[in-house]
Structures are given as structure tokens and as C-alpha cells.
Amino acid sequence: MPFRDAVVALLEEARETDQRRLLVVHGDRDSCLDAAYDALDAAAVDAEDATLLTTREGLRYDRLRPKHADRLLGTTRDAVVLDAFEEFSANAVGQSVGAVDGGGLYVLLAPPLGEWSDRRDDFDESLAVPPFTVADVTGRFRTRLVRTLRRHPGVAVYDADAGVLERDGLTDGSAPRQSPEPTVPAKHAFAESAYASCLTRDQSRAVRALERLRHPGNAVVLEADRGRGKSSAAGLAAGALALEGRDVLVTAADARGTDALFDRARELLEGEDALDGADDGSLESTAGGRVGYESPADAAAVAAEADVVVVDEAAALPVRLLERFLAASAVAFVTTVHGYEGAGRGFSVRFRDRLREADRDVREVRLEDPIRYAAGDPVEAWAFHALMLDARPAVADAVADATPESTRYRVVDAGELADDERQLGEAFGLLVLAHYRTEPDDLARLLDAPNLSLRALAHEGHVVSVALLAREGGLDADTRASMYEGARVRGNMIPDVLTSQLRDEDAAEPVGYRVMRIATHHAVRDEGLGSRLLEEVHRELCDRADYFGTGFGATPELLRFWRRNGYRTVHLATTRNDASGEHSAVMLGPTSRAGRELHDRNAARFRDRVGDALSDALRDVDPDVIRGALRACEADPEPLLDLSEYEWRVVVGASFGPGAYGAAPRPFRRLALAHLLEGSAGLSAREERLLVGKVLQARPWESVADELGFVSTRQCMRALGGAYRSLVGEYGTAVAREERARFEQHD
């Protein structure tokens, strides 16, 4: 069949079924671009309805560079052409494929498919992190991608060099079922225009469920795959709530991702002639209501002040942050189950457990019907499979009996993983659980990056726990010098932090293995499998590494986990992550003399600088995070005890006599740090939080007393005096003991 006729037939089937089709054109780049133009011309696609993702310029269609494919998120096109010859990435596919409307065409231009995996491009160069080179990068991701293209329904393949149509992509299937039309409920509280704007019955149901947000104590969960209109439903509800005079706080990891929500809210208010004002990220209604955006960390801090909170793309946020939104009067969590915005599994599995325990009336709604195209779309199914957007851990029943003793430790070969779809799905599904921002590029890194490797525990053939490791360090002197002078060296997170930020020019010389992610199946959490996996990793690699390391958003629970497994704090970032609101911790577990020296000097530097940071950049960090980070630091506390005789008299006077804490804060701060490092004075958790909040973070007495549950600031002050009496007893010198005796003899 001639190429143009094949394109026409492919598009006719797409339009008859209101689905999309995928056309792969491979060969010489110029030949592929010419064929793409022929395809768009044969399909009669208007220039304004098509986008070419390419680095080539001078084309008559709308053009974006592939690295800017994220600009297509939330948009629709009749056709999208992705030129994979330059700037190709898995992310570019994930970001662009969803923009094609029903009856449309997604076109992928590629080098000859039989040779593609052997070619190296920009993305491969990004995987060649020092000391590796691009020659060390493999092509497994593209090998697997080509396999899916050749096997999947709805995918046509054309060899532009030979002029041969290798697959016509026709499915010969019957038209899919039609989605039921939207309806206006017989009884509804929201304005009727909210329902009139719905495009599917699913959307109508979602908006109806969101009416529950009018009453305190309710939580609504909207889940859907991409393209089901969940954010639009949330926007219609937000507009309807603002129309009633309510304050609606909207948040999402990326503000751009809320465009659809704000567009629908604005349209509703304008349609009701009730839009009183609109600024960037804010809509005001004539009834005094508001729809406003705040970043996740900022929104969590003020959630209790809003009438309603809407968390869009909730799967892209960590569970610990999502929990804070439960402080809101009413809250909606809107999330993608499979898709580029977030795989949703951490939300579905872990956060739902917390939500059930919360004092909330929870309503869950799943939107199934696509809006942009009909159900059963083969391009959606291909994208889910090719990018592992539908990756799932093993079913719970298959691993429910797993114990540390029943599992087998495995070094997982990336080549074996690429050829075993079940194993890949189980392993990648667990990695998705381990991090809230897993993206398609992570699949390519897992399969092709030379610095990454995977370790796992298997139970009866199923993956139950995984650890993704990154080899770091071992860099030559020139690379270390450039890093010290400010150059970014990819794939070496811990050496980069210690070198460029903390000024340790030799930090990138030792070789380390950083645990990038570790995850255990939700059915067997808290059974010791993660610790067993780390123990095996340490045993296997200790002779090949100077240290093991990790970096993560610090929480008390995670700090305890890593400390139990032999990792020690050397850094706590002074800036928080915009999405999670957490401060990152860096921890090391040395295995050699070089690793021990690296650890010891950086632990000592952390001890020496953290006191100043706690009263400045770290002033608002959770005291339990500070307690955990310091307790996990193995620096010698002795240098902190260099108090002069005068300083000891000040401390004893404030603890046992009429002295004042504020007269000379330095000795109080140093004693607090010394205790928090080693915990030898027997203080309670509450007393330690008091040391952190008042002495180290210098918070006002009133706020510290309130946070720690003291009935008055006076009681809080007395408690601080009691804590320092214990510290004097533990660390006090002869001068301190003499001073103490003077007061005790009068008691």
C-alpha cells in the first residue's frame, strides 16, 4: 500500500473509533522529516493543529524543541510529531503523547529501528556521568521500545529509506462503546453551570462528589488516568465554592499543572457574571470567595485557614506532606493513577492507609471515561506499556508470607531486566513506590546508565524489596578541581554537595555507593526486609567501596531507619525542597580508611556549623528532625564542652540559682548540642525538643510553650532549668560542681 494511502487508512480508522494511532517513520533524518510532512498533508491536518518536536528550524508547523515537550501538557493537537534524532528522551514521549486528540496521529521519527539502540545521543551523554563515558552507556531502553513498537496494536511502521510499509497499524476493531452523556443531578448544591460544563458522566459524578467539600470534616479523592478531566472537575467545583463565598486553596507540585483547574474555575465565575478580580494564581468572586494557589510547602502551613484545600496531582507529592493537608476543614486530593504527572502508587497504597485513620468522612471517585479520545485507545495502552506507567509490584497474596529468612538476595542484571517484563514491572513498580516523582526517564536510566545498579530480595520468584544504587566518586584530580570551582558533575550527588557546597576538595576521590531509592512491598512493610537488603548490599560491595551513602528529605522516621542501618549524618541542607517542604539529609557509612576520613572530617564540620544554622536557616525545622539528625551524627561532642569557668557559672546560676538563660546563650547552646549528639544525660524527648526549639532555634517562649504543651511560659522556663540541671550533672567540671554546691546547700 502506498505510504499516503496507508496514512489515510490509519486516520480513517482513528476517526471512526475516536481513538489515536501511532505512526513510526524510521531511516535517514531528512527522509523521515519528508515522510512526516507527507503524512500530515495526507491526513489534511491544519498547520495550527499540529506540533513538531524537533531541533530543526524553518518548519511551517508549530515547533518546540523535544526538551520543551512539557509545554504540551494539558493541551490538545490533531497531530504531534516527535523527532527522536536529537534531544530524544522517555520524558519527551510521556509529555507529548497525551496531547493528541481522538482521531489524531502521533508520529515518531527515528533512526533505522535495527540500529537505533546502537546509536548514542544527547540523553545517552547525560547518562555518562563521570568517571564513565558514553561508550559505557547501553541501549536497552531503545531496544525494548522498538520491541513494543513492532508488536503493539495501532502502531504503523514505515521504512522511509526503503519506502516500505512494514506494519499498517490497523486494528480492524469495532467502534468502542460510547461514554454516557453528562447529566445534571436532580438535587444539587453547586450552580447548574458547573454540571452543564461537564463533558462526561464521570465528570458529573466527580463534581457531585465534590459538593461534600461544602461541609467540614469531608475528604474527597478523585483518581483517574490522564485525559479523564479530573482537574477540570476540580476546577468547576472550586469555582462553584468561590461562587458561594468560600476560600479555596489550590496547590500542586508544579503551578503550571493547575492551569486547567483555574481555567474551568474562571469560566464558571465568568459565566455566572461573578468574577470580581483575577491575578496570577488567584480568582476573586463577587460573593467574597477566592480560588488561590500556593506552593505545597506554603499551602500546608496555612491549610487550616482555608475553607477548602484542593491538592492537584497529589501523587507528585510525598505522603508526609499530604498528611499535613488533613488539617484543612475540607480537602480534595486529585491524582493521576498512570501518567507523566506521577504514578500514583505511593498515594494509592501508603496515603490511603493514613486517610482511613484520619477523622474524616472520605468519598472516593474513579473517573474511567477518557475525554480526549474513546476508551480502549491503543496509543494510550502502548505508552503505558512502553514507559512502564502501569508498572505494579507483585500482587499482595504472592508475597504476603515473605520474611527476611524466606527471601533470596539478587544482583539484578539490567539486560535480564529489560527482557523480563514481569520482573521489570515488579521492580520498577516498587521503585515508583519509593519516590513520589518517578518519571519515564527513570526507566531509561535504570536500563542504560552505567553508574546505576539494582539489588533485590525475591520471595518465591517475586520481587519484594529493591535498592537502586549509584556509584559515585573516584574522580580524577582535574574533575575534582572543576567541581570545587563550581562545575556541575552529573551523577555524583554526595561528592558534589561535600565539594561545591561544603568546600571539601577531596570528597570526590573516595568511591561510594549511594542508595538512591529503597522500597519494600507494602504487604510486608515493617518486617525487616529493607534492613536485610541493605545488610546484603553492604556485605557484597564493602570491598569495592570506601563508603555507602544516602540523601533524602529528612523525617524522624527515615533518620532512625538509616541510623539503625549504620549511616551517620554529615549534612542537613539549609534550604527546603519546594515540593516536599523537607530539608535534605546526607548520611555516610564508611567502609575503608579513606571513607572513615571523609566521614570524620565532614561530621566534625557539621557539628561545628549546625549550631549557627539552627538559629537562622534551620529555625523552622521540626525539632524531631533536628534531634534525629544530631543523634545520627557520630562527631565527637568533646570540642563543644570548652566552656570557660565564667560560662559554667552562668549555666549553673540559671539552672540552680537566680541567673538568666539569656545572659550568655553560647554555653547553653554548646551543652545542648553535646547532649543531642550523644544523648547521655537521660533527658526526655520533650526536654530535648525544648533544647532544640528554645535554645538552638531561638524561638519565642510563647510559641515553644504552646508547641510542647506547657500550661504557661513560666512552666516552660522551669522545665528548661530542669533540663540544664541534668546537663550540668553529666558534663559539669569541678568549677560547675562547686558553683552548684553553693546553691544546693541553701535548699
- For residues 145-161, give the mean pLDDT: 97
Residue whose C-alpha is closest to residue 386's, from 102, 151, 119: 151
Residues 302 and 197 in one domain: yes
Residue 216 has pLDDT above 50, yes or no: yes
Q: 44 versus 744: which is more confidently predicted?
A: 44
- Residue ranges of the alpha helices (H) in 223-318? 230-243, 259-271, 296-302
Which of 580, 599, 631 delimits the end of a domain?
A: 631
Q: Which strand ranges, in their side-by-side order, compose the sheet holding 282-285?
A: 275-279, 282-285, 290-293, 247-251, 308-311, 331-336, 218-224, 361-367
Domain co-membership, 198 together with 290? yes
Residues near 284 by beta carbon (within 8 Å), at least 6 away in sequence: 242, 275, 276, 277, 278, 290
pTM of the model: 0.87
Give the single-character DSSP code of 588.
Answer: E
Strand 155-159 relative to strand 164-168: parallel, antiparallel, unpaired? antiparallel
Reported as a single tens digit per residue, the pLDDT across 683-702 is 999 999 999 999 999 999 99
Considering the domain architecture, whether residues 627 and 698 belong to the same structural domain is answered as no
Give the Cα separation of 371 and 181 in Å (integer): 11
Residues 14 and 138 in one domain: yes
Distance CA 299, CA 325 (A): 8
The answer on whether 557 is annotated among ligand-binding residues is yes
Confidence of residue 118 (pLDDT cuts 50, 70, 90): very high
Task: Tell me the three cell numbers of residue 88.
Answer: 530524544
Give the residue carrying C-alpha cell 474562571.
266
Domain presence at residue 174 = no
Residue 178: pLDDT band by 50, 70, 90 thresholds?
A: low
- Model confidence at 728: pLDDT above 90: yes
Beta strands in 114-262 (DSSP E): 155-159, 164-168, 218-224, 247-251
Pairwise pLDDT comparison (746 vs 692), residue with the higher score? 692
Q: What was the pLDDT predicted at 59?
A: 79
180 in any annotated domain = no
- Which of 585, 605, 631 marks a domain boundary? 631
- In whole angstroms, give the CA distance from residue 91 to residue 498: 30
User: Is the model's pLDDT at 279 over the cut of 80?
Assistant: yes
Helix (H) or strand (E) segment spanning residue 495: helix 493-496
Distance CA 544, CA 646 (A): 51
Can you tell me the mean pLDDT for 467-471? Answer: 97
Task: Flag whether 371 is marked binding.
Answer: no
Position 98 pLDDT exceeds 70: yes
281 located within any domain: yes
518 is in an annotated binding site: yes
Q: Domain of residue 329: give its range.
A: 192-367
Query: Would you state the pLDDT for residue 177?
Result: 60
Q: Are 535 and 405 in contact (CB under 8 A)?
A: no
Inside any domain, residue 373: no
665 and 622 fall within a common domain: no
Query: Do 543 and 562 share a domain, yes or no?
Result: yes
| 34 close to 51: Cβ distance less than 8 angstroms | no
Q: How confident is the model at residue 257 (pLDDT cuts 50, 70, 90)?
A: confident
Query: What pLDDT was estimated at residue 186?
Result: 87
Which one-letter DSSP state was computed for residue 180?
P
Q: In this predicted structure, which of 314-323, 409-418, 499-508, 628-637 has the lowest mean pLDDT? A: 314-323
pLDDT of res. 340: 43
Q: Do residues 45 and 105 lie in contact, with contact meaning Cβ atoms separated by under 8 Å? A: yes
Segment 191-217 shows an average pLDDT of 94
**Do both 455 and 585 map to the same domain?**
yes
Report the pLDDT value the prediction gives residue 350, as an integer from 0 to 100: 63
- The answer to whether the CB of 152 falls within 8 A of the CB of 430 is no
Which grid cell sits at 647? 560560662
Other beta carbons within 10 angstroms of residue 747's beta carbon come to 5
pLDDT for 344 beyond 50: no
> Do the domain assignments include residue 374?
no
Whether residue 493 sits in one domain with residue 352: no
Predicted confidence at residue 343, as pLDDT, reads 44
DSSP letter at 507 equals: T
Model confidence at 210: pLDDT above 80: yes
Report the residue count for the chain.
Answer: 747
The CATH number of residue 338's host domain is 3.40.50.300
How many other C-beta atoms lie within 10 A of the C-beta of residue 597? 14
- Looking at residue 713, its pLDDT comes to 95
Determine, yes or no, domain membership for 50.
yes
Residue 746: the pLDDT is 66
List b or e across 364-385, with b for residues whose CB sees 16 or more CB atoms inside 10 angstroms: ebebebbbbbbebbbbbebbbb
3-state SS of the chain: helix, strand, coil percent to 5?
Answer: 50, 20, 35
pLDDT top residue among 93 and 184? 93
Is the pLDDT at 179 greater than 70? The verdict is no
Burial tier of 80 (Cβ tally within 10 Å: 0-12, 13-18, 19+): buried
For residues 345 and 466, membership in a common domain is answered with no
Question: Which pLDDT tens digit goes with each residue over 223-238?
Answer: 888 778 899 999 999 9
Residues facing residue 515 across a β-bridge: 469
- Could you say which of 320, 347, 367 is where a domain stops? 367
Comparison of pLDDT for 644 and 281, the residue scoring more: 644
Tell me: is residue 372 an annotated ligand-binding position.
yes
Element (H, E) at 675: helix 665-678
Residue 176: per-residue pLDDT: 63
Own/partner pairs, 668-672, CB within 8 angstroms, 24+ separation: 668/695, 668/724, 669/611, 669/695, 669/696, 670/611, 670/640, 670/641, 670/642, 670/643, 671/640, 671/641, 671/643, 671/724, 671/727, 671/731, 672/696, 672/727
Q: Tell me which residue has cell 549504620.
A: 566
Q: How would you label 252-275 residue by residue, b for 16+ Cβ within 10 Å and e otherwise?
A: bbbbebbbbbbebbbbbbeebebb
Greatest extent of the chain over all pairs of C-alpha atoms, in Å = 106
Helix axes 665-678, 713-731, angle to 10 degrees: 70
| Separation between Cα atoms, residue 617 and residue 696, nearest integer Å | 12
203 annotated to a ligand binding site: yes
Helix (H) or strand (E) holding 723: helix 713-731
Q: Are residues 162 and 197 in the same domain?
A: no
Please return the burial class of 247, using the count of CB atoms within 10 Å of its CB with bins 0-12, 13-18 and 19+: middle
Looking at every residue in the chain, the average pLDDT score rounds to 92
Q: 325: helix, coil or strand?
A: helix
Q: Tens digit of pLDDT for each residue in 137-151?
A: 999 999 999 999 999
**So what's the pLDDT on residue 341?**
45
What is the C-alpha to C-alpha distance for residues 433 and 392, in angstroms, rounded to an integer?
A: 9
Closest among 54, 48, 98 to 76, alpha carbons compared: 98
In the chain, what is the straight-line distance between the N-terminal and C-terminal CA atoms, in Å?
Answer: 104
Same structural domain, 145 and 247: no
Strand positions, DSSP E, 252-374: 275-279, 282-285, 290-293, 308-311, 331-336, 361-367
> What's the burial of 486, exposed, middle or buried (CB within 10 Å: 0-12/13-18/19+)?
exposed
Number of domains present in the structure of the chain:
4
Please tell me which residue, 347 or 50, carries the higher pLDDT value.
50
CA distance 264 to 197: 9
How far is it, in rounded angstroms, from Cα 587 to Cα 377?
46
Are the C-beta atoms of 465 and 529 separated by less than 8 Å?
yes
Q: Is residue 388 part of a domain?
A: no
Whether 217 maps to a domain, the answer reads yes
pLDDT tens for 519-549 read: 999 899 889 999 999 999 999 999 999 999 9
Residue 281: the pLDDT is 85
**600 CB-contact burial (10 Å; exposed 0-12 / middle 13-18 / buried 19+):** middle
Give ∠ CA 621-626-632 in degrees, rounded to 5: 150
Residue 92 annotated as binding site? no
Residue 469 has pLDDT above 80, yes or no: yes
Q: Which CATH number is 47's domain given? A: 3.40.50.11040
> For the residues 165-175, what does the mean pLDDT come to?
85
C-beta of residue 56 within 8 angstroms of C-beta of residue 33? yes
Range with top average pLDDT, 55-69, 324-338, 522-536: 522-536
* Pair 625, 569: CB distance under 8 Å: no
Say how far apart CA 472 and CA 651 lie, in whole Å. Answer: 45
Q: Is 564 annotated as a binding residue?
A: yes
Share of the chain above pLDDT 90, in %: 80
Domain match, 200 and 73 both: no
Q: Using alpha carbons, select from 57, 109, 63 the residue that is nearest to residue 88.
A: 109
What confidence score (pLDDT) does residue 565 get?
Answer: 97
Residue 470 has pLDDT above 90, yes or no: yes
Q: Which residue has the higher pLDDT, 529 or 181?
A: 529
pLDDT tens per residue, range 6-49: 999 999 999 999 999 999 999 999 999 999 999 999 999 998 99
Q: Is pLDDT of 348 > 70?
A: no
State how far the Cα of 320 lies from the Cα of 343, in Å rounded to an integer.
17
